[in-house]
């Protein structure tokens, strides 16, 4: 497997990111499983991949800090010496708050992780993948959200705005690097059953929202991973700048 493609999944320790890591390994990618603080969760993903015959490493690094990004890419350079795919998955929400309650600290933190982190990771990936830099090409998939178009009023307009930024960034970067062998796409998940809702103080959100979803149920992390794997794959060689809704019709 030493010549196989290498994928970095930010926030690969849990939820959608973990599902992407497991699915990518099944398809033959070697995987860097990034995490912020839950080392055991990342190591569990690595263990599952290894037990199934794949190759993975756990890589600590906060995408909201320059030191964290440097640590992530240094670890990949040392372990694999190449990079072929990036899933910009790490993302955070805050507890439900109106605009007049959102603190500057919360806003800066959200922008740093969801927007600056994704843009900086993409920049480091482009340096390694773009033919302009001597790379072999590659694919980037960004995690947007249905909130980018719905706006999340009364819950987290700041989070929605960060995902709107991801949509614009996806379109722009796709066009910027299209002639350099790098494809850039995004997925817009709707309500997916992961820990993110509990981390935002609404542990039952996925179940509570089911009646408002046309398909009447939340999605699974695996269903989002399938869409991401398609965008990373050679079945999508003419797809760039696309933003794919994975939202049960929402």
Q: Does 49 bind ligand NAP (CB under 6 A)?
A: no
Q: Does 35 bind ligand NAP (CB under 6 A)?
A: yes
Choose which of 6, 17, 185, 244 interacts with ligand NAP (CB under 6 A).
17
Instruction: Supply the angle between the helices 117-129 and 66-79 in degrees, to the nearest 10.
Output: 30
Residues 13, 48: Cα–Cα separation, whole Å = 12
Q: Does 170 bind ligand NAP (CB under 6 A)?
A: no
Tokens representing 224? 């989002």
62 vs 124, which CB is nearer to ligand NAP? 62
Q: Does 248 bind ligand NAP (CB under 6 A)?
A: no
> What 8-state DSSP symbol labels residue 87?
E
* Beta-strand relationship, 138-143 and 30-35: unpaired
DSSP for 229-241, written as a single string: HHHHSGGGTT--S
Contact set for ligand NAP, span 101-120 (CB under 6 A): 113
Residues that are catalytic: 159
Choose which of 6, 8, 15, 31 interacts with ligand NAP (CB under 6 A).
15
Residues 31, 58: Cα–Cα separation, whole Å = 9
The binding site for ligand NAP (CB under 6 A) comprises 10-11, 13-17, 34-38, 41, 62-64, 89-92, 113, 143, 145, 189, 191-192, 194-196, 199
């Amino acid at each position: 497997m030493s010549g196989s493609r290498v994928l970095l999944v930010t926030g690969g320790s849990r939820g959608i990111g973990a599902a992407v890591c497991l699915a990518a390994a099944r398809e033959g990618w070697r995987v860097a499983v990034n995490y912020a603080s839950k080392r055991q969760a990342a190591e569990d993903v690595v263990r599952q991949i290894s037990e199934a015959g794949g190759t993975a490493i756990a890589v600590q690094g906060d995408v909201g800090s320059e030191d964290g990004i440097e640590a992530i890419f240094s670890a990949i350079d040392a372990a694999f010496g190449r990079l072929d795919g990036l899933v910009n998955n790490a993302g955070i929400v805050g507890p439900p708050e109106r605009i007049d309650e959102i603190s500057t600290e919360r806003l800066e933190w959200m922008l740093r992780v969801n927007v600056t982190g994704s843009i900086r990771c993409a920049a480091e990936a482009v340096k390694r993948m773009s033919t302009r830099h001597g790379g072999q090409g590659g694919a980037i998939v960004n995690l947007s959200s249905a909130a980018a178009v719905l706006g999340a009023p009364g819950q987290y307009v700041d989070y929605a705005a960060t995902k709107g930024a991801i949509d614009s960034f996806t379109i722009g970067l796709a066009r910027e690097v299209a002639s350099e062998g790098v494809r850039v796409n995004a997925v817009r998940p709707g309500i997916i059953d992961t820990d993110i809702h509990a981390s935002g103080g609404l542990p039952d959100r996925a179940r509570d929202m089911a009646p408002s979803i046309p398909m009447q149920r939340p999605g699974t992390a695996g269903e989002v991973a399938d869409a991401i794997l398609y965008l990373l794959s050679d079945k999508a060689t003419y797809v760039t700048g696309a933003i794919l809704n994975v939202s049960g019709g929402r």
